[in-house]
A and B are shown apart, each in its own frame.
Chain A
């Protein structure tokens, strides 16, 4: 007699356990090295902002420290959002983001925007100052990556022009403010994406030539304001007298103070809260653009070198994510983010050490600033997003 075998009941796995055992689950591929480095730098940054703004004598001011800590916290929330929402959603909304950002840029140079230090670059919303140029950088990365990825490595002259127009619109609006630093970063983003997206070598060569000519013309014409020319060329000037050229002398003064602070730090630094240049406020704009001097003076080569090393790791992880990315859009987003951060790091640190011209660019995760800090966290979220979903 046949004994019918009782089929074994296959107990379906619970959704939770499926997830736990699924090796391709997105959360399993969170890049903790990248996230860890970013959080570490942000904490160091807040401490440096505090050291640069507490004042020379008690009672020490906590205002800037508390605000920066808040920005970092908001940045982490924004990072969570840009990490958790599938990055392809951003691709689908890229043109909406792009034109929204351009609209804000147009609005900020209208009478709605506010002016500070010669540039009309932000909106005053309550106590918060929103800088649309920071949003525009993120939007430009997503939009360029979205459009370029559709060309699948074939970029002829017509397609190149499409991409250049895409980049040119926000760049032009930024120049109206004018904000040379952000324009420089946007140029770097565009260049990075064009390079990796497959623009032809001869096209890139022509573009580089045109840019160099344009820069030369700008310095020798009246397009730039006097202080802008001075800042750009001061790192080349040797003997400047106050009488001959006050704008150049002022720019040179800033760089001299900055170099002095970093150099005075020496191999091991003056110690936290001890450097005289930082404590006495000798470096102009130290908590924002010149924050690297606070690191250099107080923590020395050991501290500043460690900071640069952490930046190296961040850039390496982004570069690696670009290689691992599942699709071309993901790769190009990573390249855009990499170009943006690399440009900011090199220009900012180079400026404080006197090997790059002076432009107002924040050092990512370290400089004091709401919009910039949040935008930087947002783009890291995008990279984490691409890394995390490379199997899904």
Chain B
């Protein structure tokens, strides 16, 4: 390089030109070529959308009695943003404020003591948006509310008191399994609901079980949407748009709150009775649990559905403590959250004789007039092995029985014989009991719009073999013997049903052959009272029940209740107004006392109700289960004497018809 300054200045000039060229090129790229993405990024930085949860719709019974309501809860909230500003300014002031807040809340609400660590944990809980006040205490008493208002100087704008709506249950635990409960939405549920028009965000209430879950889309309100302009620090500058929240729609159920409360009370009372009762063999019944379903056979509507033990849905309006959750799901608590009416699978015992009888008539194996001589013990023809004779329940013979009388007195002999005949002449008959069971809705979901329904099972030789091959340890024997068919004929061993299926099958007989998928909801109505959805009866299929078939069956069931030799005669003595038809059942469970079952239809001439009751480990069907249905039907038959349900689910008086049928007949 020489010493000519002009040349050196020229070099400098070239450097300058290239530097400016770089700046112009970059500016062109940012502002002309890539401006679109930067513009949208700027809009995203500028606005925040805040969703305001809308009140859920209510749940009412068929007559408009409110089952699930919303109530105002006074909540203490903390503005995390402002609290954060205090923390950056003065950590001691921040600690002091939280300590003081925890102390005061604990002082006024000693049942739920909290400390600063609790508050700090809550403030970082991802369920809550940092742009909304974060709730730290629910249902605060008035004095605390006043205290916080009077000490505004101490807590400043950080702590405020606001009102929110939470689920309320005017009738307490009544229908808890049907109603279900709500809880904070989980990430998995959020993923399921991404396409819902009623936007969900983490921490929102969502129906977890029962009607709350099934009709979530109606019950959930449409959240309000507040669009805010925020600055770099997240402070609100102004409101850009506000769409107010729209409350959810009300769901009217087919349930009748009075009948529901009576059913639950009766079920509970009979379980207590069974528990205190000593059996003839000297044993006591555990009687831990049971279920009962009352249907309208003419449209498949569920009038009442009880399951015991039950739970208090109000427990779930706050985040449920994990130890309580563990307790609710512990086997020793008998799974109170399970709805046994549709999740419990029980051997039906003699209530299944409906199926065997219908199968016999359909195949022509018997006519209504076919008689047998019930000697009390059935010997399998041509059998030479050990398990060749089957005794009647109770051991005694019933003499000569035709089909109606076999149902009335619940002659095991008659049905043992049918079961045996079906097996020995399998090439002629096939598997008629299983086919008929499926025709009546067993071994399949009824399709009731409630979550968790179980299908039960009715094995055939083929399905038993398949299940044995799949689970050889649980099902060691995959071969089907005559004994299996004999047990099947009386609803034992290879068959299990839910209380709902049982009621639904008898409802089909009661209405003359229409198998409905039961409905739980009647209609959907907006808060303004506009009906936006009606639930019509849903027919699954028609069951062939011509009068010459249905007549003898109903005659047998009517006799079981009304004939002095009927198995349920004692349980229904002095029943007013209606004649009831029904069938008792007592199912043997290995290692436990018998399951007590009863299915009833009333009035027998043109049934308006069909109901089942299943009481675990409670003895004979006539002793424990039949009185439950009797009491419910009595209130339905004689409404003037029936109690009404009041606040908390308390009945105005005990439902009439409570009888002690300790010496119920075996079946």
Contacts and interface: CB of A to CB of B under 8 A. Distances in A.
Q: Answer whether A and B are interacting partners.
A: yes
Interface of A: 56-57, 153-154, 192, 195-196, 198, 200-201, 257, 259-267, 275-277, 280-284, 296-297, 300-301, 304-305, 308, 311-312, 315, 319, 322-323, 328, 331, 335, 338, 342, 345-346, 349-350, 353-355
A301 B31 contact: yes
A165 B30 CA distance: 42
A198 B3 contact: yes
Interface in B16-61: 16, 19-20, 22-24, 26-28, 30-32, 34-35, 37-39, 41-43, 45-46
19 contacts: A56-B237, A57-B237, A153-B3, A195-B12, A260-B41, A262-B38, A263-B31, A267-B31, A275-B42, A276-B43, A280-B45, A300-B31, A301-B32, A319-B13, A322-B9, A323-B9, A331-B5, A349-B27, A353-B27
A319 B8 contact: no
A280 B31 contact: no
Nearest to B26: A353
A63 to B, nearest CB: 18
Given A323-B6, A353-B27, A263 B43 contact: no
Contacts of A319: 9, 12-13, 16
A200 B23 CA distance: 30
Nearest to A305: B27
Nearest to A283: B232
Task: Give chain B's interface secondary structure class.
Answer: helix
Contacts of B229: 56, 276, 280
A308 B12 contact: no
Instruction: Categorize the interface residue count of chain B.
Output: 35 or more
A301 B8 contact: no
Contacts of B231: 56, 280-282
Given A265-B35, A266-B35, A198 B46 contact: no
Contact of B232 (A263, A265, A280, A296): A280
B38 A259 contact: yes
Given A196-B12, A280-B237, A266 B23 contact: no
A260 B45 CA distance: 10
A192 B28 CA distance: 28
Nearest to B8: A196
B236 to A, nearest CB: 10
A252 to B, nearest CB: 14
A260 B35 CA distance: 9
Contacts of B38: 259-260, 262-264
B27 A308 contact: yes
Contact of A355 (B22, B32, B43): B22
Contacts of B16: 315, 319, 338, 342
B31 A195 contact: no
Nearest to B19: A346
Contact of A261 (B13, B20, B27, B42): B42
Given A284-B232, A297-B42, A354-B26, 12 more contacts: A153-B5, A201-B1, A263-B41, A264-B35, A264-B41, A280-B229, A282-B232, A315-B20, A319-B16, A331-B9, A338-B16, A342-B19
B230 interface: yes
Given A57-B237, A301-B32, A312-B20, A264 B8 contact: no
A331 B24 CA distance: 28
B24 A263 contact: no
A284 B45 CA distance: 14
Nearest to A276: B46
B583 to A, nearest CB: 68
Contacts of A257: 45, 232
Contacts of A261: 42
Contacts of B8: 195-196, 198
